[in-house]
Every structure is written in C-alpha cells, then in structure tokens.
Amino acid sequence: MVAHPARVLSNKGYYLCYPEHKQHLPALQTFRAWLMEGTDARG
C-alpha cells in the first residue's frame, strides 16, 4: 500500500514511539515494517 505517491525529501524526521513491553506485538511489528519499507532510514 502506498499512502501517497509523491516522494518528499526533507532533513526533518519522525519517530515511532511505543512502550518497550509492546515491541513484540504482531500489529506493531507489521506497522513498523510497513513504515520502514517507504523510507531511507537506517537502523
């Protein structure tokens, strides 16, 4: 799924924050993976 077809270059960033004890929830892992597919983020 593509949320928006335009690619935007920026020196600004976003953070996905969640409680550490929820990091293994399947829904959160899936959402995080989907976000990371569309980024040039490292790490």
DSSP class of residue 17 equals -
- Give phi and psi for 42, each to the nearest 5: -115, 140
Residue spans of alpha helices (H) in the chain: 26-37
Predicted confidence at residue 23, as pLDDT, reads 92
Distance CA 6, CA 3 (A): 9
Predicted confidence at residue 40, as pLDDT, reads 65
pLDDT digits (tens, 9 = 90+) for 1-43: 566 677 767 777 778 889 999 999 999 999 999 888 877 655 4
- Tokens 């490292």 sit on residue: 42
What pTM does this model have?
A: 0.59
> Three-state SS for 5?
coil
